[in-house]
Amino acid sequence: MEWKEEIRKIYRKIHRWCLRRRLKNRDFTILAPTCIAGVMYHELGQQFMSPTINLWMYDKDFLKFVHNLQHYLDAPLRFVQGIDKTPTAYCDDILIHFNHYHSDEEANAKWEERKKRVNLDNLYIIMADQPDGGEITDEDIRSLKDVQCKNRMVFTIRQLPNVDYTMALPKDPEKECVNMYMFDKSPILGRYRWEREWDYVKWINEGVNE
């Protein structure tokens, strides 16, 4: 296993260098209901300009969040007992699981700190069609077009005509949705399938001017 780990470290170092050389856009905010935003910021060597780092929320809740972003950024967190014993809080009616934090205080401090950095003029959105917490409909995916942002991406198994911000990923073996994309890695290099198949640096650099 040691040789695989060494190969992975060397590859990641070179790969990050290439990604960071290509990155032209700066001070961008990526909102996502999983850890994918944190992974991207880390790989690109950028400051976390988003409160949705090291946490997860149901995609249905995430849709509410981005459609009424300022409301939820202004709302205080109300911590409750989490089912997985990690910090868990309501932001108004949205449930957020801070699964990479050790205490309510730490989670709240990071949320408050990073939400102040949100750049509404350089905003990007990523989500998937995961049904947990409520079914994601075709109309839900299309509704992201109404959210003011530079670019958006939805990982899905659906074929949606006239929607140019979706990307096909493998289907979950038991559900009618994409597989858990933050666990789908190549065995040696440790690359996520989404980063192998999606040029997210180009996606950030070019954006879409609304």
Rounded Cα–Cα distance for residues 153 and 92 (Å): 25
Residues 168-204: tens digit of each pLDDT: 888 888 788 777 777 787 877 778 889 999 999 999 9
pLDDT at 208 over 70: no
Residue 1 pLDDT more than 70? no
The residue ranges of every structural domain in the chain are 2-198
pLDDT band for position 210 (cuts 50, 70, 90): very low
Question: What does each C-alpha distance from 106 to 39, 65, 102, 124 come to in angstroms?
Answer: 20, 21, 7, 25
Distance of CA 101 to CAs 56, 110, 158, Å? 12, 9, 34
User: How much is the average pLDDT of 23-36?
Assistant: 95
User: What average pLDDT does this structure show over 148-152?
Assistant: 96
pLDDT in tens, 70-120: 999 999 999 998 777 889 999 999 999 999 899 999 999 999 999 999 999
| CB-based contacts of 46, cutoff 8 Å, min separation 6 | 23, 26, 28
Spell out the SS3 assignment of 64-100.
HHHHCHHHHHHCCEEEECCCCCCCEEEECCEEEECCC
d(CA 84, CA 42): 26
Query: Which of 125 and 210 is assigned the larger pLDDT?
Result: 125
What 3 state SS string does 109-163 have? Answer: HHHHHHHCCCCCCCEEEEEECCCCCCCCCHHHHHHHHHCCCCEEEEEECCCCCCC
178/24: higher pLDDT: 24
Instruction: Tell me how many helices (H) and strands (E) the chain has.
Output: 8, 7
Q: How confident is the model at residue 209 (pLDDT cuts 50, 70, 90)?
A: very low
pLDDT at 9: 85
pLDDT in tens, 2-18: 777 788 888 889 999 99
- pLDDT digits over 32-66, tens only? 999 999 999 999 999 999 999 999 999 999 999 99
For β-strands 88-91 and 77-80, DSSP reports them as antiparallel
